[in-house]
Amino acid sequence: MAVSLSTTSMDLVMDRFGWTVLIATEMKRASVTARISRGVNTTAVITKTFQFVAGQMTRNLSMKDRRLAGSTTTGEGRLEVFYNDTWGTVCDDNFDYAEANVACHSLGYPYGGEFIFNQYGPGVGPIWLDDVNCTGAEQSIADCDHRPWGEHNCVHGKDVSIRCWIVAQIVYRLAGSSVNGEGRLEVKYNDTWGTVCDNSFSNVEARIACGSLGYSNGGEFITNKYGPGEGRIWLNDVKCNGTEKSIADCTHLPWGSHTCAHNEDVSIRCH
C-alpha cells in the first residue's frame, strides 16, 4: 500500500486487509510505530512497527502469504512469499537451518525443518528476499534481517527449497566414552545425529536426559568432558523444570538454532 506522508503528519489510512492504521511519523524516518485496530468499534489497540521501502508499507507475513511450491510431498518444496499482490521466491544467500526453521514454524510446522538448497528448482516472478539472516526466534522470515524487498543479486537457480518436519523423531545416546553411563549427550532428530550445547545446561537438565536414557537414579552435568562431537548442534538453551520426560520437552531454542561451537557440547554422567 502506498502511503503519502507530510513532514509532520498523523494520517489515518486503511490497507487492503481492513486494518485502520494511525501513523505519526516524519518522512526522514525509516520506520514508524503505528497504532492499529480492526473495525470501527474495537477497543483493542495494538502497537506495531511498520517499515517503509520505496514508498510501500510492509507488514508481517501471515500463513497465507507464503507457500511451498513445486513439490507433491507434504511439508517440502520451493519457498515462496506473496508480497504486493505477487508471488515470488527467496534467494539462498546466507540461508541455512535457522532460516528454514523460522519459515517452517511460520507455515504451521511446529518441529521446524531444514534447508535443502535448490532441490525444487527455479521459480518465476520476482525474487523478493535475499540475504535473509534469522536468529531463530522470529515469527516469520519477514521479521529476520534481509535486504529491502525485491533487492537481490540472485538468479532463480538459487531459489530456496526447504523441508518441514511433520513429526519429531528423537533418540538419545551417550557417545565418546568407554565408561558405562557417561559420555557426550547426542540426539538423533529426524534421522540425523547431533549434539547439545551447554548454554543454560545444568544438573537439572542432566537428570532429565539420564531419565530418558533409562537411568532411574538421576545424573549430573560434567561440562564438556568427552569433547566435541560433529554434525548438527540440535539443541541450545535447554531449560528444564525437573518434571519433563525428555529434554525435548524442556524449553529450548528451535531445533538447530544456536550460537555454539562443538567445543561446547554437553557431557553427562548418569546413575
Banded model confidence at residue 54, pLDDT cuts 50, 70, 90 = very low
Q: How far apart are CA 80 and CA 161, in angstroms?
A: 9
Q: How far apart are CA 30 and CA 260, in angstroms?
A: 33
How many Å separate Cα 47 from the centre of its chain? 23
For the entire predicted model, the pTM comes to: 0.51
Q: What pLDDT was estimated at residue 64? A: 64
Neighbouring residues of 174: CB distance < 8 A, sequence distance ≥ 6: 181, 182, 183, 184, 185, 186, 213, 268, 270
- The yes-or-no verdict on residue 29 having pLDDT over 60 is no
- The yes-or-no verdict on residue 206 having pLDDT over 70 is yes
Mean predicted confidence (pLDDT) in 2-26: 32
Give the tens place of pLDDT for each residue, 117-141: 999 999 999 999 999 999 888 999 9
Give the tens place of pLDDT for each residue, 242-254: 999 889 889 999 8
* Pairwise pLDDT comparison (55 vs 268), residue with the higher score: 268
Beta strands (DSSP E) in 130-175 are 161-164, 170-175
How many Å separate Cα 18 from the centre of its chain? 28
Percentage of residues of the chain with pLDDT beyond 90: 62
Contact 62, 16 (CB under 8 A): no
Instruction: Name residue, grid cell 532463480.
Output: 156
In DSSP terms, 28 is beta-bridged to: none
Q: Which amino acid is present at 161?
A: S
